Amino acid sequence: MPTLRWFVALEDLALAGEVSALRGRLEAAGFTDGGHALDHRPGSAAGRDLDTRDEGRCAVVVWADHPLPPTVADALIGLGVPLLLCGATLERADVEGQLASAAGLDVGAATGVHDVRVRPTGSAGSAELLGPRDHASSGSAHLGEHTHVTDRVLRIEKTTDDVEVLLTAKLGLVEHPVLTWRPATQVAAWTLGTRAEVVATRAVARTLVMALRHLTGLPEPGPVRVGLLGYGAIGHEHNRAVQHVPGLELAAVCDVSPDRIAAARRYAPDARGYSDGEELVADDGVDLVIVSTPPSSHASWALACLNAGKHVIVEKPFAIRSSEADAVLDLARANGRVAAVYQNRRFDPDHRAVRRALDDGLLGDVFHVEAFVGGYGHPCNLWHSDAEVSGGAFYDWGAHVLDQLLDLLPDPIEHVTAAEHKRVWLDVTNADHSRVTIRFTTGAEATFVYSDLAAALKPRWYVLGTRGAVVGNWRTERVVSRSDIGTLAEDVLAPGDSPPLLDLHGPDGSVTRLATPPAPPYAFHAELADQIRFGLTPTVTGAQSRRVLAVMEAATASARDGGRPVVPR
């Protein structure tokens, strides 16, 4: 993989910190950090040894926000390797225009900070820079074939004929380049990234990874060939995502039902069909297996996939015991493969809105979080309600909501306490009502209640901080239509099928409705494709899901022992 050398001269300390963090993300994506490109001693612009014969491909990333001596610009151009000029480098650092000239750009004035829509130009590889269509990462949202970035735009009045324009932003009726590449001089310019908040986003890391691959001539990797092990309702969800995410393709599907295999092939007619999971695992034409079998079998299938050299994603929960998850993660590390859990509710609109309120400091120091899911009614009759197969009540919805709680409160855990009630639904083995409370070493607490005996609903969210609170109230939505004879037909959705309404309560008594933007479609799968193909760090990791499993395991032990505190392993 390429080596990156850096020339960073930033007076904005927050931006400098985010650029430093970005260097770590790029290194995790396979770019070796080669340190400084130039000697930083005052008055010196001596280039370091950049002999690429020993290093393979090499590029230099330049990020500056104040005037640099012309000798520095000349030294950077004279290094003889691809340069990527980032942020305000052309606007504020290139006092005599040598870098702009080398980039083939006639630079004008910058705009103020605003919502910038960045688009690919249609040039070869430009669409890949923004990622999958309709995909949103933390801090940005893709709508169609553009992404939103809150930043300033440097007006580019003219480009030389040999400049490749990869990304643009429109100002009025004029498209201004924001990412260019000039092969003749090996100089690229990415004129966004002037603010720390922008550089911190996953979208920026992805754009720079793709740009640097373009600069250094790395070929685009082939698609990840996916095998689906089990094709129930969730299998159909995975299939739909695979069809919409570039870089993924469905290669095979396995299910005991021929009808389900046929249903999967309606989307991917060329996919191979198996009735035996071992045959799917042994298929050399499969790179990644998504395991949608009952939880008690997750670990054994995951280990089989990893032993066969494949990446693996398992449905929730990770496994029944944390020791099983440890074995999976250890083998994945040893084999250099991805192993994670499909924590799709990490991307739910209400969770993302609560997380954003915390990140923006609207609540101050959060010390108490409650989450509730449930109602009054008979549990489902599938394996979800069989404790031997599912792990029990803490493992079903708990695999979703505890993941959300631990994402909001990532601090070390002091102990877990829990309780269960079995009072009405005696034909199934899961508890009818369960409660788990996590106490963190900071003193903060988080509680999750799941109940099939809740004739009255608690709020979905109840979050208290030192400066405010968020309450998320359930809503009941109805789908109204006509019956086949023309009369009213009304379908009442369960509360859990609609995002709750979130209100921010201020200490002065004010109440503000929080926006809950739609969940980014196929976000998990898009990040998975980027992780396997380009080494980008995903939002959801296997280690996080292992932590969720440890809490569920501790909750089960606490409930069986009268609610005593249990330290998760």
Chain region(s) in the chain for CATH 3.40.50.720: 224-342
Chain region(s) in the chain for CATH 3.40.50.880: 3-216
> Which whole number is the average pLDDT over 249-262?
97
pLDDT at 425 over 50: yes
- Please tell me the distance from the alpha carbon of residue 107 to that of residue 468, in angstroms, as a whole number: 46
Q: Which residues pair with 176 in a beta bridge?
A: 169
Detail the DSSP E strand segments found in 284-341. Answer: 288-291, 311-314, 339-341
Instruction: Return the higher-pLDDT residue of 371 and 386.
Output: 371
pLDDT at 41 over 60: no
> Which whole number is the average pLDDT over 107-112?
96
Position 533 scores a pLDDT of 94
| pLDDT tier, 55 (very low <50, low <70, confident <90, very high otherwise) | very low
| φ and ψ of 200, to 5 deg | -75, -15
| pLDDT tier, 44 (very low <50, low <70, confident <90, very high otherwise) | very low
Lowest mean pLDDT among 61-70, 81-90, 230-239, 382-391: 382-391
- Please tell me the distance from the alpha carbon of residue 448 to that of residue 371, in angstroms, as a whole number: 5
Position 39 scores a pLDDT of 61
> Which whole number is the average pLDDT over 478-483?
88
218: Cα separation from own chain's centroid? 24
Position 520 scores a pLDDT of 78
| pLDDT tier, 56 (very low <50, low <70, confident <90, very high otherwise) | low
- Please tell me the distance from the alpha carbon of residue 8 to that of residue 63, in angstroms, as a whole number: 5
Length of the chain: 569
Token pair of 349 as six digits: 């609109």
Q: Which of 374, 349, 524, 401 has the alpha carbon at shortest distance from 456?
A: 374
Give the CA angle between residues 111, 112, 114 to the nearest 5°. 105
Handedness of CA 165, 167, 172, 173 (dihedral sign): positive
Position 423 scores a pLDDT of 96
Token pair of 19 as six digits: 């650029």
Contact 349, 499 (CB under 8 A): yes
Q: Tens of pLDDT along 267-300?
A: 999 999 999 999 999 999 999 999 999 999 999 9
Find the helix packing angle between 13-28 and 202-216, rounded to 10°.
60
Long-range contacts of 132-136 (CB under 8 A, 24+ apart): 132/244, 132/245, 132/246, 132/247, 132/522, 132/526, 132/529, 133/244, 133/246, 134/244, 134/520, 134/521, 134/522, 135/245, 135/520, 135/521, 135/522, 135/523, 135/526, 136/520, 136/523
Position 130 scores a pLDDT of 58
Q: Tens of pLDDT along 318-331?
A: 999 999 999 999 99
> Which whole number is the average pLDDT over 474-478?
87
Q: Which residues pair with 437 in a beta bridge?
A: 417, 447
Looking at residue 272, the DSSP 8-state letter turns out to be E
Instruction: Return the higher-pLDDT residue of 371 and 28.
Output: 371
Lowest mean pLDDT among 64-68, 206-210, 350-354, 544-548: 206-210
Contacts of 55 (CB under 8 A, 6+ apart): 3, 32, 34
| pLDDT tier, 374 (very low <50, low <70, confident <90, very high otherwise) | very high
> Which whole number is the average pLDDT over 386-405?
92
Detail the DSSP E strand segments found in 221-323. Answer: 224-229, 248-254, 272-274, 288-291, 311-314
Position 126 scores a pLDDT of 55
- Please tell me the distance from the alpha carbon of residue 189 to that of residue 534, in angstroms, as a whole number: 21
pLDDT at 50 over 60: no
Q: Is the pTM of this model over 0.85?
A: yes
pLDDT at 52 over 60: no
> Which whole number is the average pLDDT over 145-162?
90
pLDDT at 387 over 50: yes
Position 142 scores a pLDDT of 31
| pLDDT tier, 518 (very low <50, low <70, confident <90, very high otherwise) | confident
| φ and ψ of 13, to 5 deg | -65, -35
pLDDT at 436 over 60: yes
Torsion, Cα 151 155 160 164, to 10 degrees, reads 20
Position 145 scores a pLDDT of 60
Chain region(s) in the chain for CATH 3.30.360.10: 346-560
Alpha helices in 123-201 (DSSP H): 126-130, 196-199
Position 144 scores a pLDDT of 38
Question: 247: part of which helix (H) or strand (E)?
Answer: none
- Please tell me the distance from the alpha carbon of residue 115 to that of residue 198, in angstroms, as a whole number: 11
Q: How is 225-236 classified by DSSP, letter by letter?
A: EEEEE--SHHHH
Contacts of 366 (CB under 8 A, 6+ apart): 358, 408, 409, 444, 463, 464, 465
The CATH number of 224-342 is which of 3.30.365.10, 1.10.1530.10, 3.40.50.720, 3.30.70.20? 3.40.50.720
Contacts of 206 (CB under 8 A, 6+ apart): 129, 131, 137, 530, 534, 536
Please give the class, per CATH, of domain 346-560: alpha beta
Q: How is 509-541 classified by DSSP, letter by letter?
A: S-EEEPP-PPPPTTHHHHHHHHHHHH-PPPSS-
Q: Which CATH superfamily is domain 3-216 in?
A: Class I glutamine amidotransferase (GATase) domain (3.40.50.880)
Position 133 scores a pLDDT of 38
- Please tell me the distance from the alpha carbon of residue 120 to that of residue 122, in angstroms, as a whole number: 6
Token pair of 152 as six digits: 């300033």
Specify the residue for token string 């084999």: 335
Instruction: Return the higher-pLDDT residue of 121 and 156.
Output: 156
Calculate the average pLDDT of the chain. 91
Whole-number Cα distances in Å, 220 to 211, 216, 265, 477 = 12, 12, 27, 45
pLDDT at 143 over 60: no
Instruction: Return the higher-pLDDT residue of 233 and 75.
Output: 75
> Which whole number is the average pLDDT over 6-25?
96
Could you give the 3-state DSSP secondary structure of residue 474? coil
Specify the residue for token string 């612009």: 45
Q: How many CB atoms lie within 10 A of CB 270?
A: 9
